[in-house]
Amino acid sequence: GENVEQHPSTLSVQEGDSAVIKCTYSDSASNYFPWYKQELGKGPQLIIDIRSNVGEKKDQRIAVTLNKTAKHFSLHITETQPEDSAVYFCAASISTSGGSYIPTFGRGTSLIVHP
């Protein structure tokens, strides 16, 4: 089955700095890569996603890059703010015949942004 590795497990930055979280996946059949942000006591919330036919996607301060050959993808957050502090999960998804969406999650990165 799919295996997703995520690094680092903890990332501490100063407000205004950039943060980068990296993930690798094992199954070349994976073709959808969402990133989730989970704040304490809440469910995961999708912040950005990328499909295998795209190499890069950006949404304001957040960007994701995908290298299909190397099987890795990364989340980039620029101009970090204290409210960006949360746990971030990457995931890799393989389509199912039933039309459902089965992501394999990375272990998560705890991002701490110091004011």
How many Cα atoms sit within 13 Å of 68 on the Cβ side? 12
Tell the burial category of 72 from Cβ atoms under 10 Å away from its Cβ (0-12, 13-18, 19+).
middle
Determine if 31 is a binding residue for other proteins (CB under 8 A): yes
For residues 92 and 4, the answer to whether their CB atoms sit within 8 Å is yes
Part of the chain binding other proteins (CB under 8 A), chosen from 14-22, 60-68, 69-77, 92-100? 92-100
**Could you say which of 26, 45, 67, 81 contacts other proteins (CB under 8 A)?**
45
Min dist CB 53 to other proteins, Å, is 11
Residues contacting residue 73 through CB under 8 Å, at least 6 positions apart: 22, 23, 25, 33, 50, 64, 65, 66, 67, 90
92 binds other proteins (CB under 8 A): no
**Least distance from C-beta 16 to other proteins, angstroms?**
27
Does residue number 10 form part of the binding site for other proteins (CB under 8 A)? no
Which residues would be at the binding site for other proteins (CB under 8 A)? 31-32, 34, 36, 41-46, 49, 51, 89, 93, 95-96, 98-103, 105-108
